[in-house]
Structure 1
Amino acid sequence: MKRIALTRVALGAALLAASMAAHAQDAKAKISDGMVKIGVLTDINGPFMDNVGRGSIVATEIAVEEFGGKVLGYPIQVVSADHQNKADVGSARVREWLDRDKVDAVTELGSSAVALAAMKIAQEKNRISIVTGAGAVRISNEDCTPTNLHWVYDTYSLAKVGTQSIVKNGAKSWYYLTADYAFGHSLENDGKAFIEGAGGKVLGSSRYPFPGNDFSSYILKAQASKADAVAIATAGLDLQNAIKQGKEFGLVEGGQQAVAMLMSIVDVHGIGLKDSGGMLFAESFYWDLDESSRAFARKFFEKTKRMPTALQAGQYSATLQYLKAIEKAKSDDVADVMKAIKSMPINDAFAKNGKVREDGKMVHDMYLVRVKKPAESKSPWDYYTVLETVPGDKAFHPLAESKCSLVKK
């Protein structure tokens, strides 16, 4: 009995010591307001809702769940809102989150106009912004900020990976059908540079008011150009409608190649393999790439009944790495977290060989993919064949050409 009593005393002492050690560790951690709060500002009901939207919120929640719901012993909370693809609506919500709700990081921001407005407010308030859903190069180039991260892709990488190989394979003349706003313009301008650099030529372009649903007149102009390839520089439901209408007008059957400058797996799913099979485009993620991508995709599918887009997988990755950076820094202080995240190699379900550069850009492998034709697909969501893997240092804008004020010359 005495031995049992001594054992209990020893066990109690050990538990007390462990508790005190844990308390001491927690005391070293600096978490403002006793909570880490992540705001997901996305397009919930608009033209990009399938590419980001509720799926990006789910992806954020999966990352938080995998982290155990806490970081450094403090709870993690996710809040979300719809920016309606309007910079003023997005800005108002960001200010409300940062001033009233004590949000630590604003993320997703799937519209370049919204992203550019939000990241400036975050800098003003000394909070972190993580752009996973917008692709304008200027986000991490001339408009970079010390508190912003640019995660998934940009128009430079999409245009470079999505045009050069196609030009080299014979598509020498191009025509652009472009959404008339910042992201579309950037896709067209970057694409033109890479097409011409590879020995091709852009014969012309048509810019349509975004969002749109009738592309007939623009498709007729593209056909009249006799270009080898017609580049569709838009995204989401607009992209799907443009491809379907191109099919109705016999664009591909007439000998022209349709090239999506930004396409996702849900776009392929919405269009169908019959109409999209054979299309080439640049991608930053595919759910069936390896075991880690498949493991995340299974969790995502359980909650949404569809496979994740690159933007949704990138949102998962950005959230996970943000939490890891807090853990490494033992603080949610903005400067400490930014320093930590820029020192970490990134390999997860989304990113391969990833690293955050001094301009805030997360560079990683990109892929040139071809959409499978119906006979090639062996199971639901078996949509891509990866033709080429382009390393991050070859895919993204080189630092030597950067206009970001954070880059040391």
Structure 2
Amino acid sequence: MTRKSSSLVVGGITAAALVLTGCAGGPPAPDGSALSDGKVTIGILNDQSGVYRDLSGPNTRVAVDMAIADYREKYGDEAVATEIEVITSDHQNKPDVANTQAQQMYDRRGADIILDVPTSSAALAVAEVAAAKERLFINVTAATMELTGASCNPYTFHWAYNTEMLAKGAAGVVEDGGESWAIVYPDYAFGQGMNASFTAAVEAAGGEVLESIATPFPNDNFSTFITRAAAQDPDVIGIMAAGGDLINFVKQYNQAGMQESTTLAVGLMFITDIHSLGVDQFSGTTFTDAWYWNYDEQNREFADRFTQLTDTRPTFAHAGNYSAALQYLEAIQRAGTDDADAVIAELEGAELNDLFLRNGVVRSDHSVIHDSYVARVKAADDVEEPWDYEAIIATIPAEDAFSDVNPNCSM
């Protein structure tokens, strides 16, 4: 793909700005003239009130503010981004709302970049707007492969995870005796992608998917779908829902006594899901994780800072948004400007290591690969402190965790 030069639109100030004073090194001038409108505006677009609120939601702003603070501390008077503003909006998990909010963020509110955007259908809508407006979009919290597939574009990056990465853990479940599966998934882009990726992973490992069952999204009553899945007499019931829908499903699965006859496989798990329902409800469940707060001292230090501000531990979505915001600002620093094409040139091909990205690489298809992890939920008796619910049992190297570069999306 060939990028056209971008012309950024000035928007009004709608949120308090974090100001970095002093002149930048190199070409930028002290008055911030290296910036398109005298400041960098970071937009956060996510679910502020629905089923994905806890895993991302308002606390993503905290993670982004932490990245800005770290950038300011590192560069001080040499910072190119002399003024930084953060704006937020709620897309309500609806693609039409996400489209409208993205257009308003770019055009009326002056966003240079949009971050986060859970709900794959909403993320795909934002990617279309980003391409049309020639503004950056770093998606952190949607899983659809289409962001670096059929809907790829030069202005969109897929930062944290995707459905194929999440499905890597399925092979281990099959090898442990879970050969026959029934998969329950939400009937929109995320769930459809998860069903396809997990079916492929199960079959590649020698297992069989007996039935795939689509459910409405969002949904609070899974009893009929659980009964239908159980009727197949599978070794494993795989649930591909996330956030509040996952919590509802697992609660009803356990109430039905299904854990006595089948193994539960969870496609996408966040630490907030385990905390909300209780570790005993997920104990023994194995899944693929993108990041864990208590994996090492670097992660724990970040988590302790985050907890002081939020009274909760960060999910991998929060850590991923911190990383995306920080690396975006670092790219501005290297480019000496916030011009979209100049920043993209600094990101493409970059080898990155931070608290979220271990052995990270920004590939030519704008998929960001990094080490990922096989996690198992601890038994209640093994939990030694609040929120320490996971045991990391294996590391999946970056090049193995993600599929090959999509040649049709080479930018």
Q: Which residue of 2 aligns with 1:288?
A: 294
Q: Which residue of 1 aligns with 2:59?
A: 55
Task: Describe the shift of the 1:24–1:228 C-alpha distance in structure 2 as closer, same or farther (beyond 3 A).
Answer: closer
1:136-215 correspondence to structure 2 within 5 Å: 136-159=144-167, 161-215=168-222
Q: 1:216 aligns with which of 219, 223, 226?
A: 223
- TM-score normalised to structure 2 length: 0.90
Is 1:379 the counterpart of 2:385? The answer is yes
Q: 1:376: Cα distance to partner?
A: 0.7
Identity within the alignment, %: 36
* Separation in structure 2 between the aligned mates of residue 23 and residue 195 of structure 1, nearest angstrom: 53
Q: Which residue of 1 aligns with 2:271?
A: 265
Is 1:322 the counterpart of 2:325? The answer is no
Q: CA RMSD in A?
A: 1.8
Q: Which residue of 2 aligns with 1:227?
A: 234
1:293-372 correspondence to structure 2 within 5 Å: 293-372=299-378
Q: 1:133: Cα distance to partner?
A: 1.1
Q: Which amino acid aligns with 1:396?
A: F
Q: Which residue of 1 aligns with 2:45?
A: 41
Task: Describe the shift of the 1:403–1:242 C-alpha distance in structure 2 as closer, same or farther (beyond 3 A).
Answer: farther
Equivalent residues of 2:181, 2:235 under 8 A apart: yes
Q: Which residue of 1 aligns with 2:28?
A: 26
* Separation in structure 2 between the aligned mates of residue 358 and residue 95 of structure 1, nearest angstrom: 26
- TM-score normalised to structure 1 length: 0.91
- Name the count of aligned residue pairs: 385
Question: Which is helix-richer, 1 or 2?
Answer: 1
Is 1:243 the counterpart of 2:245? The answer is no
Q: Which residue of 2 aligns with 1:14?
A: none
Q: 1:297: Cα distance to partner?
A: 0.6
Q: 1:162: Cα distance to partner?
A: 2.3
Task: Describe the shift of the 1:307–1:245 C-alpha distance in structure 2 as closer, same or farther (beyond 3 A).
Answer: same
Matched position secondary structure for 2:299: helix
Q: Which amino acid aligns with 1:195?
A: V
Q: Which amino acid aligns with 2:87?
A: V
1:171-222 CA-to-partner distances (Å, cap 9, x unmatched) read 1110011111110011011100110011000011221111111111111122
Task: Describe the shift of the 1:265–1:153 C-alpha distance in structure 2 as closer, same or farther (beyond 3 A).
Answer: same
1:273-301 CA-to-partner distances (Å, cap 9, x unmatched) read 11111111110010011121111111111
Q: 2:72 aligns with which of 68, 75, 79?
A: 68
Matched position secondary structure for 2:259: coil
* Separation in structure 1 between the aligned mates of residue 244 and residue 22 of structure 2, nearest angstrom: 56
Q: 1:158: Cα distance to partner?
A: 0.5
Task: Describe the shift of the 1:242–1:26 C-alpha distance in structure 2 as closer, same or farther (beyond 3 A).
Answer: same
Q: 1:90: Cα distance to partner?
A: 1.3
Q: 1:97 aligns with which of 78, 100, 105?
A: 105
1:306-341 CA-to-partner distances (Å, cap 9, x unmatched) read 111111110111000000011011111112111111
Comparing 116-125 and 366-375, the one that deviates more: 116-125
Q: Which amino acid aligns with 2:180?
A: S
Comparing 26-35 and 37-46, the one that deviates more: 26-35
Q: 1:406: Cα distance to partner?
A: 2.1
Equivalent residues of 1:140, 1:404 under 8 A apart: no
Q: Which amino acid aligns with 1:224?
A: A
Matched position secondary structure for 2:184: strand
Q: 1:24: Cα distance to partner?
A: 6.3
Matched position secondary structure for 1:27: coil
Instruction: List gaps (5 residues or longer) in structure 1.
Output: 1-18
* Separation in structure 2 between the aligned mates of residue 224 and residue 294 of structure 1, nearest angstrom: 43
Instruction: List gaps (5 residues or longer) in structure 2.
Output: 1-20
Task: Describe the shift of the 1:315–1:248 C-alpha distance in structure 2 as closer, same or farther (beyond 3 A).
Answer: same
Task: Describe the shift of the 1:141–1:306 C-alpha distance in structure 2 as closer, same or farther (beyond 3 A).
Answer: same
